[in-house]
Structure 1
Amino acid sequence: MPPIRSGRYVNNQYDTPSRASNVAQRSPRYQLAPYERAKLVELKAIGWSYKDIHERYSHIPIGTIKTTISRSRQRGPTEEILPRSGRPKALNDEERTMLLDLIRDDPHIKYDDLLSRLDHKVSRQTLWRFFRGFNKRKWLVLQRPGLSEEYAQKRRAWADRVRDYDSNKWRKIFFSDESTVERGKGARREYTFTRPADQIKERDIDPMFWAAFSGSGRRTGLIPLFGSPNAPRGGVNRMVILDLYQRVLPTLLNGIEGAIFQQDNAPVHTARIVREWLADQDFEVMAWPPYSPDLNPIENLWALLKAKIYEMHPEIKEMADNEETLGILINAAQEAWSELDTDTLDNLAITMPNRVKQVIDNEGWYTSY
């Protein structure tokens, strides 16, 4: 990643102070057309502030706005552009405007697609510098929930309770969860120009599945969950979960000495009717800390599953969002699930001692998983 230069602009030159400084990065030069300069001067004349003008023309750096207005008297009535030194710009005004429009309309757009739109006339590093000049950068699409001090303490307390579990103990735990499989998503890590605080994940055709597995090689099938589309969580309520558990868990857990069932703290799992049934069956259920998807290895299994789907069926990414695609996606997901081998299950289960150690080392805060 290119370094951020220290210094400030003085008379259109980059002035570097004698001592080290961490002030703002130099903004790229922006050549305004005469009508743009006239509009900026006009708005300032009728009382607009520099901030108001910048909000109206966000593609123009605020420093350029201030300089343009302050020099308007020097240019005179012809609005003649003062000569500039230096090499020609890598991107012309039309291309710069196009790039800003593209990332506004599609924050997930990839650098390769942007370079293609420019016929690869510039390098990736040039694009990076251009966007940094407008305080734009690529962010990893958010996956983790926000932790608070209270939740971090609960995670640490949980880790202290299970810190002595060895790999064989973790192999007897059946990890479970639901997950949606979104069409065209999950094949690789996603990045976006949208800041984390502003990210809102769009949803298309999103079938929801439930599954459970253990490091001993035992697992359920990939089970679709259906309910009312107008209800929270796609209609997956406590009765749907109870019916699922009644059909699946006795076969999965009975006869396995030392088997422990893990589920998260979603209300549909912790509803009294579900807890009472689990207790009646004499199943041992692991207490689970809140906001802890990074501690559940099935989350990694979901990622492997989604990558497998698009490895086996890349055509699904281009299909329309309709009921036919939904059926195809469900079948593809179940086919991909069956292709995940038992060694993968075991490898994920035995990561648990290290996850627990990281929770303890980080005082309950995020792990690297």
Structure 2
Amino acid sequence: MGRGVDLSPRKKSEVKTLLLHTSHSQRKIAELAGVSKSVVNKIKINLDQDQPLSPKRKGKCGRKRITTPRSDRKIRDICLQNRKKSAGLLTQMVQESGIQVSKRTVQRRLAEEGLTGHRPAKKPRLTEAMKKKRLAWAREHRLMSVEDWSKVCFSDESTFEILADKSNFVRRRPGEKFHPDCIVERVKHPVKIMVWSVISAKGVGRLYIVQGTMRQDQYKQVLDTRLLPQLREWFPEGEEFMFMHDSAPCHKARSVTKFLADHNIPVLPWPGNSPDMNPIENLWKITKAEIAKEMITTKVKLIEKLINVWHHNPKIKESVKQCIESMPRRIEALIQAKGNVTKY
């Protein structure tokens, strides 16, 4: 009997039973089992050599690949030219180019190239002029060591809000679309607070809750009631230090510049639109993640939680020094990116 398809496990077991428990010839067994004599012979050899009847298959099995290497490259190139398009739109573009494949095939080919879907990183928009200034700043401060950066006090403001659940995904079963655990609650006008603080290699500094919009008069109050006491605490013996703040209008006001000069506070030059160079941003991110673990519905609770996390959370304490020590790597990354955005 000629071979048509691979024998099923049941048919192989039937031939095996006939070989082991009857005295029939191989020809007779082939006739009884409805298989060829060569099949019976192969199964007998495997039994004699104590080999499995179903050897492991070599290579991939299944239908032949529908695309060619050339069409795979075309799919990849279309994706690289349209990185923010959905798989459905990419499939339409691929089909319009003459490659008739399904959406699932496009997804598989992109996965093979390592082009998987992710939420895009949010970075500030940089003009060519901004990139040049960032690159020049990085080259100017390239030789600063970790010890030099440990003398810098980095400051910044950040905004926190109640019900700040930013989830983009949820895992749910059919019928659970409106389950309390599967929705993101929103309010029309969420309560927000802006806070200011400063960090150094010595730890995190005092927090200041900004009232309304930060303007130069309030910023001078921040410097007077928060920064100056913190500097006296961190550098009591007249140690060298530098103060960093960004180029926000309230920071660069003449009255603020005069206040810093009158109090002998040296200021580190800082390029605009460079939050990736400011290590306090990493601590703000950790703080927001910790606050988001609880459902906070009032301003008072938000402030209490913020203070608790900022001053007592072990993740903050562990990360401060690491963030400061990363400054030389940030500078090198900025130079490598030629002033463009970095991973920080």
- Residue 214 of structure 1 corresponds to which residue in structure 2? 200
Q: Quote the Cα distance in structure 1 between the aligned partners of 2:92 and 2:320.
A: 54
User: In the alignment, residue 323 of structure 2 is paired with which amino acid?
Assistant: L
Contact 2:206–2:230 (Cα < 8 Å) also in 1: no
Instruction: List alignment gaps of at least 5 residues for structure 2.
Output: 1-65, 77-88, 94-103, 109-115, 171-187
The Cα of 1:139 is off from its aligned counterpart by 6.0
Give runs of aligned pairs for residues 1-369 of structure 1, distance below 5 A.
19-20=70-71, 140=119, 143-185=122-164, 204-217=190-203, 219-227=204-212, 235-254=213-232, 255=236, 256-311=238-293, 314-316=294-296, 319=297, 325-341=298-314, 342-369=317-344
Contact 1:173–1:261 (Cα < 8 Å) also in 2: yes
Distance 1:242 1:17, change over 3 A: same
Distance 1:288 1:16, change over 3 A: same
**Helix, strand or coil at the partner of 1:258:** coil
Contact 2:163–2:295 (Cα < 8 Å) also in 1: no
Deviation per residue, 1:187-225 (Å, 9 max, x gap): 87x679xxxxxxxxx9722211101010123x3222211
Deviation per residue, 1:61-80 (Å, 9 max, x gap): 999xxxxxxxxxxxxxxxxx
Contact 1:154–1:289 (Cα < 8 Å) also in 2: yes
User: In the alignment, residue 201 of structure 2 is paired with which amino acid?
Assistant: G
**Helix, strand or coil at the partner of 1:270:** coil
User: In the alignment, residue 300 of structure 2 is paired with which amino acid?
Assistant: G
**Helix, strand or coil at the partner of 2:251:** helix
Contact 2:208–2:226 (Cα < 8 Å) also in 1: no
Contact 1:170–1:350 (Cα < 8 Å) also in 2: yes
Contact 1:171–1:215 (Cα < 8 Å) also in 2: yes
The Cα of 1:16 is off from its aligned counterpart by 5.6
Distance 1:334 1:24, change over 3 A: same
The Cα of 1:348 is off from its aligned counterpart by 0.9
Deviation per residue, 1:24-55 (Å, 9 max, x gap): 79xxxxxxxxxxxxxxxxxxxxxxxxxxxxxx
Q: Quote the Cα distance in structure 1 between the aligned partners of 2:67 and 2:288.
A: 50
Distance 1:17 1:308, change over 3 A: closer
Q: TM-score, normalised by structure 2?
A: 0.58
**Helix, strand or coil at the partner of 2:292:** helix
The Cα of 1:356 is off from its aligned counterpart by 0.5
User: In the alignment, residue 363 of structure 1 is paired with which amino acid?
Assistant: K
User: In the alignment, residue 302 of structure 1 is paired with which amino acid?
Assistant: W
Q: Quote the Cα distance in structure 1 between the aligned partners of 2:299 and 2:117.
A: 31
Contact 2:198–2:227 (Cα < 8 Å) also in 1: no
Identity of aligned residues (%): 31
**How many residues get paired?**
230
Q: TM-score, normalised by structure 1?
A: 0.55
Q: Quote the Cα distance in structure 2 between the aligned partners of 1:240 and 1:139.
A: 40
The Cα of 1:315 is off from its aligned counterpart by 2.4
Q: Quote the Cα distance in structure 2 between the aligned partners of 1:62 and 1:360.
A: 39
**Helix, strand or coil at the partner of 1:211:** strand
- Residue 100 of structure 1 corresponds to which residue in structure 2? none
Distance 1:156 1:203, change over 3 A: farther
Q: Quote the Cα distance in structure 1 between the aligned partners of 2:281 and 2:69.
A: 51
Distance 1:152 1:225, change over 3 A: same
The Cα of 1:142 is off from its aligned counterpart by 5.3
Distance 1:248 1:139, change over 3 A: same
Contact 1:140–1:191 (Cα < 8 Å) also in 2: no
Q: Quote the Cα distance in structure 1 between the aligned partners of 2:323 and 2:307.
A: 20
Instruction: List alignment gaps of at least 5 residues for structure 1.
Output: 1-14, 26-58, 64-124, 130-136, 193-201, 228-234, 320-324
Contact 2:151–2:241 (Cα < 8 Å) also in 1: yes
**Helix, strand or coil at the partner of 2:71:** coil
Q: Quote the Cα distance in structure 2 between the aligned partners of 1:245 and 1:238.
A: 10
User: In the alignment, residue 304 of structure 2 is paired with which amino acid?
Assistant: N
